[in-house]
Structure formats: C-alpha cells, structure tokens
Amino acid sequence: MSLISVRTLLRFYLLILSCFLPLLSCFSQDLEYAHKVIDTLASPAMHGRGYVNDGDQIAANYVAKEFENFKLSKFQTKNVSLLGETLPVLVKPDTLNQYFQNFNLSVNTFPSGWGIGLGAKDELFPAGSIAQINPASPSITLTKCKIIWLDSSVVYSQKKTSVFLKSRFEDKILIIDSKGITGIENQKVLNEARHNAYGAKCIVEFKNKKLTWDIAQQVNTFPSFDILVPDSANATLHKRINATGTMHFYVENKFLKEYKTQNVIACVKGTQYPDSFIVFSAHYDHLGQMGKGIYMPGANDNASGCAMLLNLASYYSKNPPVCSIVFMAFGAEEAGLLGSKFYVEHPFFPLKQIKFLINLDLLGTGDEGITVVNGAIYKTEFEALVKLNEQKKYLTQIKSRGKAANSDHYFFSENGVKSFFIYTLGGIKAYHDIYDRPETLPLTKFEDVFRLLIDFTDFLELK
Ligand SMILES: [Zn+2]
C-alpha cells in the first residue's frame, strides 16, 4: 500500500470518526448530566424532597436554578382583582418573571422521629427497613404496654374470637398477624382491628413483604406501625414478644397546616407557533425524612423523571422548537397529585392551548421497554410513538394502558388535555422505601427514551 493511499485511508477514518464523535460525546453528556441531577435530588441534603427541613423547597430551588442556567422563560403568576374576582394573569412567556407557582397543603411529618421495640427501651427495630410508622400517627411519649394478639390462634377459635370482639384494649398494644388467615369474614375482623375498633393504645401489624411509606394529610387518634417479619422468622418473633409480654414505642409528629409548597414552571418559546404549547411534566417531590438521618431518596421516583425533564429543557434551550415547550416540575404529587391538580385549577394559559402533555415518572430503567398510560385513549399519538420506535429501534417494547389516576397527567386528561404518562419497565424493585437510591438506577434506556421523546415532539409539532 502506498503512502498516499494510507493517508487517504487515515483521512477517511478521521472523517468518519469526526461525524460520530460529537454524537457520542453529546450522548455521554446527557447521561452524565442525568446522573448528576439524580445524585443531587436523591442526596441527604434534599431530605427526601418532603416537608421535614424544607426538603421540598430545597429541591424546587435546585430545579429553578437549572431552568435559570438554561435561560428558560418564566411565567408571571400575579393575581389581579377583576369585578371583585381574583384571576391569574395570562401572559406570554417572554414578559414573565416567575418560575414558582405556590400552593398550600396540610401534611403530617415526623421531624424528631419515632421508635418501636421489644422489652427494654434501647431495643428498637431499625426504622424504615424493619419497622415503619403509619404516616397519620399522632405524637405519644415513650410508652410501655402489655401486648394482645390478633392472629390465627384467635381467629380460628370461636371462643377466643367472641371474647376478642367484646373487648376493649385501652392500655394495650394490639398485634395483628394475618399469617394463615383467609376468608372474607375473617378479613373483616382484621380490617376492623386495623381501624382500631377495639380501642387499643397502639396497633402493630406483621408484614411479610417489603415495607413502604406514604404521606398523610390528617392525623389519626392512635399510632400504628408495620413490622417486617418474613414467614421464616414469624414463630421466633412470636416467642420473643411473648417472653417479655410487652412492647414500647414513642412518636413525635408535627402536623403542618397550610404548608406553602410550589410547582416550578418554565418555557422555551416556539419560533412559529408560540401560542401552541407542548408540555413535559415530572414531579420533583418525594416522601421526605423521618427523624434524624432516615429519608426516602426517591431516585427512581422521581429524580429520574426530573433528570429527563431537565435534559429536555437543556436540549430545547439550544434547539428552539416550532411550538412553545413548557416544563412543569410539580410539587406534592406523593400527597395525592396536589401540584398538578392546583395547576389545572389555576393554569398560566388556557388548557386548550396545550397540544399534548407528556408526564415523566419512574424513568430509571427500561430493560423491558416502557408503558404509556392513556396510550389506549389517544390512539393516533400512540401509534405514531410506536412507529417512531420501530423505525429507530430504541426500545424493545411499548406497552399501552387505559386511563389511570397514578401520576400528574391525570387531572390534565380529565380536563380535556391530551396526555400520556410514560414510565420505564424492568430492573429495580425499590419503591416508596429507603432503598430507592441513585446507585441502584441502571438508566439502561435513558438516552433511547430521550431520543424517542424528541422524535415524538417533532411529530406533535407538525400535527
Ligand atoms: Zn412518582
């Protein structure tokens, strides 16, 4: 081979390489940024993005700062009095000055913690992993109580059941163990006990599956706890509890009435149709912190969706879209879709100007493809999405579902806004627990979902 032909070949390779390099580095930048967003939102400094130590506000400030970095437009949310009524001003993105939309919620929190244990004071079950508190529990000072069982030995003995049903247990801890109990009538007895029909001081329930947590907007009159007891450990724990005959517990709750939280909303103005909006949404809130140091990281739910939202914001800030694209990071989703509900009731521009909304929640995996909630309702858009995926071979499957009130798309579609909710399938099992951590997220198909969303938006813009 002559020197010239080697040079030509080298040039050819360099040319090929230079075509792909920007693409490769652009991909890796997106993914690197996604990891950074997830690590930040799921870090201890965000306190689980709930209502202890202002976790929600710290997270909202972070999202707003990122919007600011991408120089996204803001909406003005100032209210004006018009014929005695207060209405939000609907103004175009360019003139606007506010990323936050504030609203209030009431929520029960545990800033100082809680504990439950056997016998002596220091033998507490590890909080979050082995023991979990009912989020509606009230405060109670350290109390040691005798125990009373509601288990198969009671339920399957007519004599014991009839005594139990007539009893009150004001000074006792009632332990519900449903292992081996079946039948509708028996389940009714268990359910009544769970609601404390027998007036116990505290309710404890054995659970043989991973414990999860939630948010309560009210406070019960009695504290209750779940204890993780695998079937293999059930008999041993029964024996240990019976040996002491007592358990002890304490709870310090703080009920926040009308706590101020927020949605974070920004826009990239469309070059041709600025009054026509495509919306991407993702909730940034999660379940928060209990006591000192125990928090729910919410990496998959929903730091992953926020990472996608911010990646899209970054992309469209550099590649101006034809229609306006709005990025909505909702608060208080975990408290019952409160942020998105508030937005639908107080929109920045008429809802009918939204061409389509894509809600992103749980995007950390993708090994088994994605599911599209509302895919069975908006069939034209769903078919377009599937076709784009087949052309580009991004994901192994796209499943379709009907309507479901399971994330922030819900109140939009209930109010006539066409919308999808997309979540990834496969991979991890952590959900609403202390195990939903950044290091467990493979982000297997994150870039493919990103590309698919860009292609789908191109389709929506031209529709
Ligand atoms: Zn979620």
**Please, which residues bridge with residue 277 across strands?**
324, 354
Q: Kindly give the distance from the C-alpha atom of residue 294 to the centroid of ligand 1, in angstroms, as a whole number.
A: 19
459 CA → ligand 1 middle, Å: 27
- Gap from CA of 341 to ligand 1 centroid (Å): 15
Round to whole Å and give the CA distance between 43 and 110: 19
85 & 139 share domain: no
- Specify the pairing of strand 79-82 against strand 85-88: antiparallel
Residues 229, 360, single domain; the answer is no
**Residues 441 and 296 grouped into a single domain:** yes
Q: Is residue 1 part of a domain?
A: no
In the chain, how many domains are there? 2
Domain-ending residue, one of 251, 275, 297? 251
**146 within some domain:** yes
Question: Which CATH number goes with the domain that contains 136?
Answer: 3.50.30
**Residues 42, 43, 46, 50: is their CA dihedral positive or negative?**
positive
CA dist list (Å): 310 to 339, 348, 427, 451: 18, 20, 23, 14
Q: Ligand 1 centroid to 407 CA: how many Å? A: 7
| Secondary structure class of 407 (helix, strand, coil) | coil
Tokens of 413: 């579609």
Per-residue pLDDT of the chain (463 residues; tens, 9 = 90+): 444 455 555 555 545 544 444 444 456 678 999 999 999 999 999 999 999 999 999 999 999 999 999 999 987 655 544 444 444 444 444 444 479 999 999 999 999 989 999 876 668 999 999 999 999 999 999 889 999 999 999 999 999 998 988 889 999 999 999 999 999 999 999 999 999 999 999 999 999 999 999 999 999 999 999 999 999 999 999 999 999 899 999 999 999 999 999 999 999 999 999 999 999 999 999 999 998 889 999 999 999 999 999 999 999 999 999 999 999 999 999 999 999 999 999 998 999 999 999 999 999 999 999 999 999 999 999 999 999 999 999 999 999 999 999 999 999 999 999 999 999 999 888 999 999 999 999 999 999 999 999 999 999 998 7
Ligand 1 centroid distance, CA of 339 (Å) = 12
Which ranges constitute the DSSP H helices of 42-96?
55-69
- φ, ψ (nearest 5 deg) of residue 439: -65, -15
CA distances 84 to 79, 87, 88, Å, are 12, 10, 13
- DSSP secondary structure, 172-213, as one string: EEEEE--TT--SHHHHHHHHHHHTTTT--SEEEEEESS----
Which residues have a beta carbon within 5 Å of ligand 1, which is an ion? 301-302, 361
> How far is ligand 1, taken at its centre, from the CA of residue 8, in Å?
54
Distance from the alpha carbon of residue 283 to the mean position of ligand 1, in angstroms: 7
Cα–Cα distance, 321 to 267 (Å, whole number):
11
We report the CATH number of the domain holding residue 430 as: 3.40.630.10
CA of 150 to the centre of ligand 1 (A): 34
Domain membership flag for residue 5? no
* One domain for residues 77 and 120: no
User: Cα(175) to centroid of ligand 1, in Å?
Assistant: 31
pTM over the 0.85 mark: yes
CA of 330 to the centre of ligand 1 (A): 10
Containing domain of residue 198, as a range? 114-251
Q: Strands 273-283 and 323-330: what pairing?
A: parallel
Residues 6 or more apart whose Cβ sits within 8 Å of residue 335: 105, 107, 215, 217, 285
Q: Are residues 91 and 156 in the same domain?
A: no
Nearest to 49 by CA among 214, 288, 281, 302: 288
Considering the domain boundaries, does residue 262 fall inside one? yes
